[in-house]
Amino acid sequence: SIKAFIFDLDGVIVDTAIYHYQAWRRLANELGFDISEEFNEQLKGVSRMESLDIILAHGGLTLPDEKKAELAAQKNQWYLELVSRMTSEDILPGVANFFSQVRKANLLTALGSVSKNAPLILERIGMTEAFYAIIDGTKITKGKPDPEVFTKGAAELEVAPAECVVFEDAVAGVEAGKRGGMFVVGLGSPEVLTQADFVAPSLNALTVDEVLERFSK
Ligand code: B16
Ligand code: MG
């Protein structure tokens, strides 16, 4: 039976993708090219350095590692300026209600985010206490679509992967959950999140009972 829900952060609990995009775009512009919002889609759920590599390739640039570290740090500084203004108002619609149902159902909760800034964001929005386990970018060696971020979450909760449901908005994240042996609810479009067990537009469109019924055998 299902014992735990594991949540992605960006795109599920909050929408920080827009801040990542603004900061990466500022960096690309300084380097002499631009990135579109559509291009930004492929950066969702991908680690900071991997994102930088994708952006530099898009701009046709090859740079030494020291320069890349400098650029990633600059982007993060701009990103943090945006994140530091976040409050509980930035929690996505339906999240608070969904979490109160999760508590009533006595389910365990974990965060599975590749972001090194995840703990800071949870503090800003006042949701640190909503998670029994927090797995972030500092605790993993491989980003999504590797399942590490989710399997570590299950291990910390002391539950089996088959007892977990992952909530994910990114293609790489859905793949990570499936590779980890978990049930995956995709949040977004079914045409995009084809590997998910089922897809809903957002947590606002779901009830905990509905999710549990889908995966009860
Ligand atoms: P940081 P998630 C991911 O968060 C973002 O989707 C992705 O765009 C970002 O590059 C990555 O975190 C790393 O973030 O630079 O803050 O360490 O979707 O796994 O919650
Ligand atoms: Mg996400």
Complete DSSP assignment for the chain: ---EEEE-SBTTTB--HHHHHHHHHHHHHHTT----HHHHGGGTT--HHHHHHHHHHHTT----HHHHHHHHHHHHHHHHHHHTT--GGGBPTTHHHHHHHHHHTT-EEEEE---TTHHHHHHHHT-GGG-SEEE-TTS-SS-TTSTHHHHHHHHHHT--GGGEEEEE-SHHHHHHHHHTT-EEEEES-TTT-TTSSEEES-GGG--HHHHHHHH--
* Atom of ligand 1 minimally distant from the CA of 170: 18
Q: Which residue from 25, 115, 116 has its CB within 8 A of the most atoms of ligand 1, so it is best to mutate?
A: 115
Distance 188 CA to ligand 1 centre (A): 17
Which pTM does this prediction carry?
0.94
Tell me if residue 90 is catalytic: no
Tell me if residue 197 is catalytic: no
Query: What is the per-residue pLDDT across 2-45, written as a single tens digit (0 to 9) for each?
Result: 999 999 999 999 999 999 999 999 999 999 999 999 899 889 88
Identify the residues whose C-beta falls under 6 Å from ligand 1: 8-11, 20, 43-48, 51, 76, 113-117, 137, 170
Query: What is the per-residue pLDDT across 61-109, written as a single tens digit (0 to 9) for each?
Result: 999 999 999 999 999 999 999 999 999 999 999 999 999 999 999 999 9
Atom 16 (ligand 1): residue with closest C-alpha?
A: 115
ipTM for the complex?
0.92
